Structure 1
Amino acid sequence: MGLTERQRAGVAAVEELGKELSEFHRLIWSYAEPAWREYRSAQAYVDLLKAEGFEVEEGSGGMPTAFHARWGDDGPAIGMYAEYDASPGYSQDTVTYRQPRPGLHPWAPGFTDAHSALGVGALAGAIATKRAIERTGGRGVVHLFGEPAEKVCGSKAVHAAKGYYDGLDAVISYHPLFENTAVWDIHNCLYWSAVFTFQCFEAQRDDAPPWISGDPLEGSGMGAHNSVRSPGALDALGLMLTATKYAKENMFPRTGLWSLNEAILGAANATADNLPPRITQIQFSWRSPLIGVQEQILEVLTRNARHVAGLANCEVSMRWVTRTRPGLKNHVMAQATYENLLELGPRRFAPEAYEFARELERTLGHEPSDDPFRPMLYQVTDPRDHDAATRATLPPWQDCTGADDCTEYTWHAPTVRFYTAKPLLRVVGEDLNHWANNAMNGLAPAIDPVWGYAGEVIAATALRLIDDPGLLAAATEEFERNREAAPAALRDPLLPRDFAPPVELPWPEYVTTARGFEWQLPTTTDFGEKL
């Protein structure tokens, strides 16, 4: 149907932002800060948005690395969001061989699925929408949220619970991926995450089990180091990990796609090996398509935690990290965005991107090819075809898969989720975590067209929603109908309004010590003899 004059003004604004935002993207990429610790990245966004004329609330929702930027006073309110968290363990420099960013540990964070480009694409769309309205006149309100900790689905559930999305008329959700398309029916699942903390307050207690009721060697002169000691928090963590793995096949139905993952948080017990470890923390994160399955998994986890705490002479507590809902579809929004994807793309890439990719092929032991990239890069996939391909991997009754906290937006306003394809090597496939694919995330000729395409689609879609009352009304009617048909237990946020974000837990981060600026792991890579 072609673009309107105002939509073309938005596209032109993205193009004129190209050089500035290319440098900004490289800055965010170079910071590569992990979840809940994106201090420099968030500040860079805040400073740029303020300079552009947005009103910015820093630390929104009680999250130090979140923000809420707003421009405009009247008209439809369109929401967008930036992410900027990196993944620990995936540092990769922009070189054609495996190497972390200069000066950092190999297991420092890096961008895998390109949240750096995700954020800059949304930033480009927000600024371009604002500039197009300024230059052509008219109404419209632009909201850009800074959303930290997507890797643990952290911030959006918090913003939703605290009412930040309640005034939005529509939302545009973007992510770089391996194809250019929009989501039709199948959004992401429920995702819950909690940290269990085991603490050993007393090594010996009057009410303790017989094995620590007294010292059997008392008066023998053998010394305290030979005494029977309490197991402590380390044993509790080990028992929690193994008990949960043993119980895993009995935690949820034996069909469908879902997962339960765990991570151990830092405990600082290493230099007191002859004493009972006082504290350990383990995070469990689980995703499934049904709230009943989520609750069943939670029940098993809490039962295991109480049991192993008793075995190890510990007290246990549980702290929620997040609780998200599955996504609500919106065909009106998906179709409008798909039309703009077709109108504006797909993208072509500069020769430097192909040369870099061919050198990666050589490093990986393959002959360089004329076109190293997957063919999905060069086409726009109909959302219905994308949906059919996803559905083929699911049981007939399952209507969602994977996890992303963008689903929280879908319960507050009509929302579209769309993707633009980033260059992925044919010889590696869809592996977004492979170091060779990650190496291109910091290469401007390879990544700038990805977020630039997204910025144009965001601006064109936002401006059409603002200018076309019929389109917005149709999207709103579908949203209200689908929300009303959904289970009542999911219509409101699953976290309470006074939820305290878990920002003070010992998440991985960069630190500055007398040794300098470093990732929290030891700067050495000498871990002793390989066994």
Structure 2
Amino acid sequence: MSAPKLTAAQTDALAAVDARASDLSDWCATIFDFGETAWREYRSAEWYVARLRAEGFTVEEGSAGMPTAFCADWSNGEAGKDGPVIGMYGEYDAVPGNCQAASTRREPRAGLGYQAGGHTDPHSGLGIGALGGLLATKAAMEKHGIKGGLRFTGEPAEKVRGSKPIHAAKGYYDGLAAILSFHPFYMLPMCNTVRWDTHCGAAYAMVYRFICDAPEGWGRADGAPIPQSHSAVRAPGANDALMIMYQSSKALREAMLPHQGGWSVSEAILTAGQATADNLPAGLAEIQYMMRTPTVAMAEQITAVLDRNAEAAAMMSGCRWERHWVCKSRPGLANHAMARVVWDAMRAVGAPRWNEDARAVAREIQSGLGLDPMEAPFIEEMERLIEPETAEAILRRDLPPSQANSTSDDYTDMCWHAPTARFYIARPALRAPAGYAYPNWVMNALGGIPATIDPMVRTAAKVLAASAVRLLEDGAARDAAMAEFRDRTGGGIGGSTWTPPLCDYDPPIHFRWPEYIETPRGRDWWIPSAMPGA
């Protein structure tokens, strides 16, 4: 089937991406180098706000009470009256423990250790690809007098599914004609395609906090205080509570979770210990859990078990416990009409292509790892498209027929407020010799080296721009997407089959999330990178 013919405005939008290719490359490198992690993306958010204002957008900083979130709006005409509003977004959070330079060998970014943040997906390219599509759409709207508006939200903490459930609950996606969601491909067959029926599932995340603030009464039947003696009985304290919780909850993976279908429960210890040099019990410890499930009911069931484990751990160790929500996100909702719009754009734009400069980078990495450099070092699927229905059929092979959703990403919360398409563009990934697995740093590095990441960024920006301009120009396409949205939700927002936001909590910004700090040595990670062996 031949590629769809583009309108003049769509063609000019693609040209606008090419005209700013150098800027997009520099911007992607900037965000990659920031490497800021969940809820602490201060420099990244500041950069986006300044850039968007310079491009003529009105920007609300700290949207929905999240200091590193924002909401940017621009309208060609009177906002809310002249034409539809299309939504896009950027993510920019990195992952602790993945600090990697844009280099062909394993090395952290300058002045940091490996435990600092680094982009793994990479959200640096995701956000700049989306920004490129946004600015190209704006340029086409101005040149061709297309009425309508653009909304671009800054979405922090995606790695803990943080911002989108909160933005959704606060109404930031309401009133949009459509939302376009792009992500670098992360698993085959979801490479250069659009999600069809099986969208991402639900995700719950929470922090359990154990506090030992009255250790003197633990273990004494008569209620008398513990004598002032280092040999007297004492409460085990918060460290023990955390370890009991950690070990007992491991049973979830065997007792509750099947070994297929994208289910998972992961944990991360936040504030660990708060110990003293004496034999006093630790007073505070925190552990974060994240679960990915196909349905909300499954997430609720796992939460009930975690709550019981926390209560038991607290009782055994002389502590009290608290549960604080980080995320409660809904499973995704398909929209075939939106998927077709994006697939048409993807066919017109084509898959990304990696030139000889990129291949030379890949071969240098292979050689440094002791491998024979390959003439064609990249995975073949990266440079070709796969039809959404074909990708869907492959994806379903490993899923039970009853499972409607798989894996997780919090774009799913957008699906319940406006017609949404979720699509993937290939990120650079290397072919592996039989039986070989590349170390993780390779993917991280390829996401920061301009020669290897720029093709993804440019292609994503073009697909976004072509899709957005199509939706702005084509009333029939918009109407079809909205009709399907209303049908699947029983009438739209508030409809009979609509799932309301699950977010009933404040942004979890006050925990000791990993972050960068300023010291006399300069910028450093919260675990000092200057320590021996760091």
Same fold flag (TM > 0.5): yes
The 2-side partners of 1:50 and 1:432 are apart by 41
Give matches, 1:329-348, under 5 Å.
329-348=334-353
Aligned position for 2:287? 282
Give matches, 1:202-281, under 5 Å.
202-205=214-217, 208-210=218-220, 224-251=229-256, 256-267=261-272, 269-281=274-286
CA RMSD in angstroms, aligned pairs only: 2.2
TM-score w.r.t. the length of structure 1 is 0.93
Aligned position for 1:3? 6
Q: Is the 8 A contact 2:63 2:69 kept in 1?
A: yes
The 1-side partners of 2:444 and 2:496 are apart by 41
Higher mean displacement: 396-405 or 516-525: 516-525
Residue in structure 2 matching 1:189, options 175, 180, 201 = 201
Residue in structure 2 matching 1:149, options 143, 147, 157 = 157
Aligned position for 2:317? 312
Give the letter for the 2:510 counterpart.
Answer: E
Q: Is the 8 A contact 1:112 1:433 kept in 2?
A: no
Q: CA deviation at 1:524?
A: 3.8
Aligned position for 2:121? 113
Question: Deviation string for 1:348-404 (max 9, x for gaps)?
Answer: 223221111001111222111111000011101101111111111111111111110
Q: 1:273 to 1:120 in 2, by over 3 A?
A: farther
Q: Is the 8 A contact 1:2 1:343 kept in 2?
A: yes
Q: CA deviation at 1:346?
A: 1.5
Q: CA deviation at 1:155?
A: 0.1
Q: 1:432 to 1:382 in 2, by over 3 A?
A: farther
Q: CA deviation at 1:209?
A: 2.9
| Identical amino acids, percent of aligned pairs | 44
Partner SS state of residue 442, structure 1: coil
Aligned position for 1:502? 508
Give the letter for the 2:214 counterpart.
Answer: E
The 2-side partners of 1:295 and 1:439 are apart by 38
Residue 437 in structure 1 maps to residue 443 in structure 2: yes
The 1-side partners of 2:439 and 2:86 are apart by 32
Residue in structure 1 matching 2:211, options 189, 194, 199 = 199
Residue 415 in structure 1 maps to residue 405 in structure 2: no
Partner SS state of residue 306, structure 1: helix
Aligned position for 1:380? 385
Q: CA deviation at 1:120?
A: 0.4
Residue 512 in structure 1 maps to residue 518 in structure 2: yes
Give the letter for the 2:295 counterpart.
Answer: L
Question: Deviation string for 1:404-458 (max 9, x for gaps)?
Answer: 0000111011100011101100018998982112111111121111111111111
The 2-side partners of 1:78 and 1:296 are apart by 37
Residue in structure 2 matching 1:522, options 514, 524, 528 = 528
Residue in structure 1 matching 2:472, options 463, 466, 470 = 466
Aligned position for 2:328? 323
Higher mean displacement: 183-192 or 226-235: 226-235
Higher mean displacement: 64-73 or 506-515: 506-515
Aligned position for 2:95? 87
Q: Is the 8 A contact 1:113 1:433 kept in 2?
A: no
Partner SS state of residue 456, structure 1: helix
The 1-side partners of 2:422 and 2:448 are apart by 24
Partner SS state of residue 15, structure 1: helix
Partner SS state of residue 431, structure 2: coil
Give matches, 1:384-403, under 5 Å.
384-403=389-408
The 1-side partners of 2:257 and 2:124 are apart by 35
Q: Is the 8 A contact 2:273 2:282 kept in 1?
A: no
Question: Deviation string for 1:5-33 (max 9, x for gaps)?
Answer: 01111111111111122111111110010
Give ranges in structure 2 of 5+ residues lacking alignment.
none
Q: Is the 8 A contact 2:239 2:285 kept in 1?
A: yes
Aligned position for 1:97? 105
The 1-side partners of 2:433 and 2:73 are apart by 40
Partner SS state of residue 215, structure 2: coil
The 1-side partners of 2:437 and 2:135 are apart by 32
Higher mean displacement: 256-265 or 147-156: 256-265
Partner SS state of residue 204, structure 1: helix
Q: Is the 8 A contact 2:238 2:273 kept in 1?
A: no
Q: Is the 8 A contact 1:172 1:416 kept in 2?
A: yes
Aligned position for 1:140? 148
Partner SS state of residue 472, structure 1: helix
Q: Is the 8 A contact 1:125 1:459 kept in 2?
A: yes
The 1-side partners of 2:307 and 2:55 are apart by 48
Partner SS state of residue 281, structure 1: strand
Q: Is the 8 A contact 2:253 2:264 kept in 1?
A: no
Aligned position for 2:366? 361
Question: Deviation string for 1:476-528 (max 9, x for gaps)?
Answer: 111111122999686110013xx310011110000112343211113245369
Aligned position for 1:160? 168
Partner SS state of residue 490, structure 2: helix
Higher mean displacement: 104-113 or 42-51: 104-113
Q: CA deviation at 1:224?
A: 2.5
Residue in structure 1 matching 2:455, options 443, 449, 453 = 449
Residue correspondences, number? 519
Q: 1:4 to 1:309 in 2, by over 3 A?
A: same
Q: Is the 8 A contact 1:215 1:228 kept in 2?
A: no
Question: Deviation string for 1:296-340 (max 9, x for gaps)?
Answer: 111111111111111111111110001000100011111111111
Partner SS state of residue 143, structure 1: strand
The 2-side partners of 1:117 and 1:283 are apart by 27
Q: Is the 8 A contact 1:325 1:490 kept in 2?
A: no
Give the letter for the 1:29 counterpart.
Answer: F
Residue in structure 1 matching 2:24, options 21, 24, 27 = 21
Aligned position for 1:482? 488
Partner SS state of residue 225, structure 1: coil
Partner SS state of residue 36, structure 1: coil
The 1-side partners of 2:432 and 2:354 are apart by 19
Aligned position for 1:351? 356
The 2-side partners of 1:193 and 1:491 are apart by 19
Give the letter for the 1:282 counterpart.
Answer: I
Q: Is the 8 A contact 2:32 2:119 kept in 1?
A: yes
Partner SS state of residue 336, structure 1: helix
The 2-side partners of 1:432 and 1:127 are apart by 36
Give ranges in structure 1 of 5+ residues lacking alignment.
none
Partner SS state of residue 224, structure 1: coil
The 1-side partners of 2:403 and 2:324 are apart by 29
